[in-house]
Amino acid sequence: MSIAVNAGSIRLSKTQPAIALSPRPLLQVRSTHDDKKKILFVTSELTDLIKTGGLADVSAALPRALGALHDVRVLIPGYAQVMRSGHSIRVVGSLSAQADLPACRIGRMDMPDGLIIYVLICPELYEREGSPYGDGHGNDWPDNPIRFARLGLAAAEIAAGTACIRWAPDLVHAHDWPAGLTPAYMHWRGLHTPSVFTIHNLAYQGNIDMSLRRSLGLPHEASGPERMEFYGKLSLLKAGIAYANHVTTVSATYAEEITTEEFGCGMEGFLRMKARQGLLSGLLNGIDESWEPESDPHLVRGFSARNWDGKVANATYVREAFGLELDGSPLFAVVSRLVHQKGVDLTLGVAETIVRNGGQLAILGQGEPHIEDEVRELARRYPGRIAAHIGFNESDARRLFAGSDFLLMPSRYEPCGLSQMYAQRYASLPIARRTGGLADSIEDGVTGFLFDETSVASYRATVLRALEVHRRPQLHCAMRCRAMAAGFFWRHAIAPYDRLYQRLLGERHEVSHSIP
Ligand code: ADP
Ligand code: GLC
């Protein structure tokens, strides 16, 4: 599966040249006494401001966690939701137009906790109603290639010092296809600043028409098969993989899976090559410190492993809010984007088993319209036992994790998955397929339940196993306690990132010394 970026409305300019390859700037050797490095994160989502899924959570939490070690700042497009977020924005720099990418300004937003966010201000590209990627009705913005090329080039210009924001990163860390051109533009500018590219989901590739090359200011070499070319198109995701100094993805298992035909989305050969060269690693995501069941202000009542009353209160809230019968039956939850990846169709297949065994199911999410319709239809069939809210809000998501006994995550593939970590923290045992980060973060029979095959039969057997555990309060309680203590916090998960950054900065350092 790939998400093709519709590039229909891009104006192709024959007269404007591709961005010229500038001569390599002279390197400056930085002080070895200053261990705190300047890192720029480049992302299209950030939970504080705009979110469609886990990328936003990681983009918000990882820089903050790394902030203990480094000066980490974030660059994000100035979407309407960002511009009207209520945080003040001070213009600190500007960038000129290049090829068909318009001029823009850079604003600085200081979050109350000290995180510094650079906002790429360009109303014609970003200030419109909808999601970061489309109009919210399933249509991608036709000018996405320009919108996200502008993001990548802005990051490269910040790294080159041309944005005049009085801050230049030692290392740039770009995330997913929307930021994929960042390492590429950095390379074409001749920068020696190391770059890391993280794949959060290989299936979303930002593939665009080859004819857009000049309009985005890409040099001819971009269209080579070892570069951005992907089945006759140009891939923004592949640009990130091709040009970054190192590629990471968000779990060790997914890092292996994406080198196979089954999970590689057509890029497996290229990724195998990167893996052979030691340039691909899997680093498991974490969760932020707000996931604290005793004090989370989103919950109707806090709880802990010593006192479960608050968990019951959240379950009651969920039952009332979703219109489920008020009883103490096993409560299953789905909190998910409703897309093929997440295997919601498989959950429809086990729903009857849940109900027949006295369970209830509450579903919160939104996504592909036909899956939304199927979910609504399911809820209509089992009034009082199955209910769905099509939409998303953070408080209800957290109350569902807190109130449910089991979280269903039968994903076909799952690069990492955060919901199963949130659920464990809130004593809801995940029932998940053994793939990607689910395999790496759930201990079968200890902190949750795993099944292997993408089939209703395999899933159903595991749901029955979970129901059996629910009937044995002592075992259930022991599993809940183990899940809550699993400790996926970012503070334990940043070390591999730090080591990677230090290594890349060290390599850069050596390079800079070796230049006459
Ligand atoms: P993914 O990023 O693939 O959706 P993750 O498990 O990594 O999966 O992250 C899910 C995050 O997104 C959680 O914070 C979850 O609460 C949230 N979420 C789930 N569904 C939606 C949605 N429809 N819109 C916005 N956020 C959602
Ligand atoms: C993607 C993946 C998800 C991962 C998230 C954050 O959306 O689908 O598995 O947890 O990114 O890395």
- The Cα 229–Cα 443 span in angstroms is 40
Contacts with 125 (C-beta within 8 Å, 6 or more apart), sequence order: 77, 102, 104, 143, 146, 147, 150
Residue 338 CA to ligand 1 centre (angstroms): 10
pLDDT of residue 270: 98
Pocket test residue of 48, 177, 339, 418 for ligand 1, highest count of atoms within 8 A of CB: 418
The architecture (CATH level 2) of 309-487 comes to 3-Layer(aba) Sandwich (3.40)
3-state secondary structure 177-222: HHHCHHHHHHHHCCCCCCEEEEECCCCCCCEEEHHHCCCCCCCHHH
pLDDT of residue 507: 83
Pocket test residue of 337, 375, 409 for ligand 1, highest count of atoms within 8 A of CB: 337
Q: What is the pLDDT of residues 341-375, one digit of tens each?
A: 999 999 999 999 999 999 999 999 999 999 999 99
| β partners of residue 307 | 304
Residue 240 CA to ligand 1 centre (angstroms): 23
User: Model-level pTM?
Assistant: 0.92
The answer to whether the CB of 30 falls within 8 A of the CB of 168 is no
As a 3-state breakdown, the chain gives helix, strand, coil percent values, each rounded to 5, of: 40, 20, 40
Q: Which residues of 219-247 are buried (b: 16+ CB within 10 A; e: fewer)?
A: beebeeeebbbbeebbbbbbbbbbbbbbb
Contacts with 42 (C-beta within 8 Å, 6 or more apart), sequence order: 74, 75, 151, 152, 155, 172, 173, 174, 175, 179, 182
CA 53 to ligand 2: nearest atom: 7
Question: Is 98 a pocket residue for ligand 2 (Cβ < 6 Å)?
Answer: no
Ligand sitting nearest the alpha carbon of 333: 1
CA 254 to ligand 2: nearest atom: 9
pLDDT of residue 137: 81
**Residue nearest to ligand 2 atom 3, measured at CA:** 417
CA 200 to ligand 2: nearest atom: 11
CA 285 to ligand 2: nearest atom: 12
Question: What's CA 329's distance to the chain center, in Å?
Answer: 33
Which is nearest to 178 in space by CA: 419, 5, 363? Answer: 5
Which residue ranges of the chain lie beneath pLDDT 70?
1-34, 508-516
Question: Is 419 a pocket residue for ligand 1 (Cβ < 6 Å)?
Answer: yes
Ligand sitting nearest the alpha carbon of 62: 2
pLDDT of residue 354: 98
Question: Is 417 a pocket residue for ligand 2 (Cβ < 6 Å)?
Answer: yes
Which is nearest to 165 in space by CA: 116, 93, 115? Answer: 93
Residue 416 CA to ligand 2 centre (angstroms): 5
How many CA atoms, within 13 angstroms, populate the side-chain half-sphere of residue 145?
A: 28
Residue 454 CA to ligand 2 centre (angstroms): 19
pLDDT of residue 392: 94
Same fold, 36-287+492-514 and 309-487: yes
pLDDT of residue 3: 36
Q: What is the pLDDT of residues 471-509, one digit of tens each?
A: 999 999 999 999 999 989 999 999 999 999 999 999 864
Select from 3.40.50.2000, 3.40.50.150, 3.30.70.240, 3.40.50.620 the CATH code of 36-287+492-514.
Answer: 3.40.50.2000
What's the DSSP call for residue 110?
Answer: E
- The Cα 62–Cα 41 span in angstroms is 9
pLDDT of residue 70: 97
- The Cα 271–Cα 265 span in angstroms is 11
Judged on CB neighbours under 10 Å (0-12, 13-18, 19+), 177 is buried
Give one word for 82, left, alpha or beta, with left for phi > 0 and alpha for psi -120 to 50: alpha
Pocket test residue of 3, 44, 46, 55 for ligand 2, highest count of atoms within 8 A of CB: 55
Q: What is the pLDDT of residues 171-183, one digit of tens each?
A: 999 999 999 999 9
Question: Is 58 a pocket residue for ligand 2 (Cβ < 6 Å)?
Answer: yes
Domain positions in the chain: 36-287+492-514, 309-487
- The Cα 448–Cα 417 span in angstroms is 14
Question: Is 418 a pocket residue for ligand 2 (Cβ < 6 Å)?
Answer: yes
Question: Is 100 a pocket residue for ligand 2 (Cβ < 6 Å)?
Answer: no
Ligand sitting nearest the alpha carbon of 420: 1
Pocket test residue of 337, 418, 435, 438 for ligand 2, highest count of atoms within 8 A of CB: 418
Question: Is 335 a pocket residue for ligand 1 (Cβ < 6 Å)?
Answer: yes
Question: Is 416 a pocket residue for ligand 2 (Cβ < 6 Å)?
Answer: yes
- The Cα 147–Cα 152 span in angstroms is 9
Question: Is 414 a pocket residue for ligand 2 (Cβ < 6 Å)?
Answer: yes
Q: What is the pLDDT of residues 415-440, one digit of tens each?
A: 999 999 999 999 999 999 999 999 99
Ligand sitting nearest the alpha carbon of 336: 1
Residue 300 CA to ligand 1 centre (angstroms): 21
Which is nearest to 268 in space by CA: 251, 252, 255, 277? Answer: 255
How many CA atoms, within 13 angstroms, populate the side-chain half-sphere of residue 148?
A: 35
**Residue nearest to ligand 2 atom 12, measured at CA:** 200
